Amino acid sequence: MARLKLGVLISGRGSNMAALIGATAEPGFPAEIVLVIANRADAGGLETAREAGIATAVIDHKAFSGREPFEAAMDAALEAAGVELVCLAGFMRLLTAGFVERRVGRMINIHPSLLPAFKGLHVQRQALAAGVRIAGCTVHFVTPDMDSGPILVQAAVPVLPGDDEDSLAARILKAEHRCYPHAVRLIAEGRVRLEGDLARIDASSDSTEMLISPLSGE
């Protein structure tokens, strides 16, 4: 069976990209990364991808007159590589509705909160200010509305006494590195069905297909 072809978009070190690289290197994983695109030439994740033998491209948003021509260049690169699923991994550019709508059901993102709670930036600050006891991350399909779209997989982590933004973010990041490859596997295995605003998972036995919870405080 052919492996699902992934394109990963990054802006920085790409730690979630690295988690996907590790997962796709495992025997039997049903997806492969065929292209990594960065909008910054100094994105640290580019070297990680190159060391793994993955094709890379730098498409600098500053070199274009607006978002549409920038996205047209990304479109062309993704199509040329035969990308079937786009994975956003710390890609720090807002995408137009047109770019997103061309990839309905074919583009996913990971966000460091249990959506729909705490959208946008400074997520850990929001969670600490709200006094929540459980935080986490969410893999979701991308829609034109920021940090929205059908939820695929979530992972929960405890908020510990004495946590600050950095310690909570580090704990959530560990969960992200488990969550993202798991979500990609579900899609690549054909076990995800979109029904309106919901993603239905053909679970094998229990809810652990959709929820990794709660992780330890380590």
Residues annotated catalytic, as ranges: 111
- Name the nearest CA neighbour of 56 among 73, 41, 72: 41
The two structure tokens encoding residue 98: 């047109």
In whole angstroms, give the CA distance from residue 39 to residue 161. Answer: 38
Give the three-class secondary structure for 142.
coil
In whole angstroms, give the CA distance from residue 145 to residue 168. Answer: 26
- Name the nearest CA neighbour of 58 among 81, 77, 34, 72: 77
Q: Are 122 and 162 a contacting pair, CB within 8 Å?
A: no
